[in-house]
Amino acid sequence: MKRSFAVMIVLAGAAVLIPAPAHAVDILVNGNFESMPVGTGWTQVSNPTYPPITNETPGLPPQSGVYVAWMGGITDDTNMIYQDVAVPVGTTQLTFSGYAWVTTQELGVIVYDTCTLQLLTTANGPLETLRTWTNANTNTSWTAFSIPASGTYAGTTIRVRIRAINDASYVTNFLFDTCALEATVPVGVSPSSPAFSQLRPAGPNPTRAGSHWRLDLAASSSVSAGIYDMSGRLVHRLAEQSFPAGSHDLGWDGTDADGRFVASGVYLCVASADGHRFQQRIAVIR
């Protein structure tokens, strides 16, 4: 079984004699897990039969909507979901909040199964662990939590990861729902404009029927994006238009320009924007 978890990050103004006016904004994509296609914004790493983001829960109603993140729930298994987030320039505090529900088949207070909420670099370098749930601290209903980060990470891109590890005996389910990652920034700072432009890795990858990339633009720009095979041939055009500053979804349904599903192999998502050229690989498995 698995559990779902809710996350919210709130940034507070620095301690000064006269605090500057500030406002909080949620910078997490699809924190309630309801956006379609399922898992939008998140990369899921799990047993393919049991993806963490699901509407099939272990007899526990969602905190909101119909989908949750159900982590754990399988013996001798590790699964995770993660999302790369651009923290706005000027951020003074991050706070991760949401709802969690933990159930277990384990007995006693010895820790066997764990689930951690972490902030990492995009190369999975550790930044900080915000919280760890275990089989020893279960609850009987959705329980709200709010965890301020010790770092602010202003103007950088960080990875938010929830990872569950179950041992080989009984299972523990870690459920999360209605999550938000809020950043408090000074009034006048645009929370929607990333510090720099980039193309985020695809999810899912590998894929059987398409995938999604997130294109962050530091400024409005003309965007040309497409799927190419490894010989450099354009397979499918994704975009040829102007986009405002902010984050944009580039979705591909796994077909070529004629609407036919492409063959198995490695392909490139290539985007030109803001005077830069970005590319990410994706594997297609038929």
Q: Are residues 182 and 214 in the same domain?
A: no
> Does any domain span residue 10?
no
Nearest to 161 by CA among 92, 84, 78, 95: 84
Asked which of 147, 166, 186 is the last residue of a domain, the reply is 186
Judge if 214 and 240 occupy the same domain: yes
pLDDT digits (tens, 9 = 90+) for 123-147: 899 999 999 999 999 999 999 999 9
22 confidence band (pLDDT: 50, 70, 90): low
In a domain, 16, yes or no: no
Which range of residues forms the domain containing residue 42? 22-186
pLDDT for 202 equals 79
Structurally, how many domains does the chain consist of? 2
Decide: 83 and 28 in contact? Cβ < 8 Å: yes
Q: Round to whole Å and give the CA distance between 79 and 32.
A: 19
CATH, residue 158? 2.60.120.200
Q: How far apart are CA 140 and CA 157, in angstroms?
A: 35
> What is the pLDDT confidence band of residue 192, given thresholds at 50, 70 and 90?
low
Within a 13 Å sphere around the CA of 166, how many CA atoms are in the beta-carbon half?
A: 27
pLDDT digits (tens, 9 = 90+) for 85-113: 888 877 889 999 999 999 999 998 999 99
End of a domain among 136, 159, 186?
186
| Higher-scoring residue by pLDDT: 177, 194 | 177
Q: Are residues 214 and 274 in the same domain?
A: yes
Q: Using alpha carbons only, what angle is made at residue 11 by residues 243 and 62, rounded to the nearest 5 degrees?
A: 80
* CATH number, domain containing residue 260: 2.60.40.4070
The pLDDT assigned to 59 comes to 86
Average confidence (pLDDT) over 231-239: 94
DSSP SS3 for 218:
coil
Instruction: Work out the average pLDDT over 37-66.
Output: 91
> Are 202 and 280 contacting, i.e. CB atoms less than 8 angstroms apart?
yes
Note whether 228 and 173 are same-domain residues: no
121, 250: one domain = no
211-217/53-54 β-pairing: unpaired
pLDDT at 173: 96
pLDDT of amino acid 111: 96
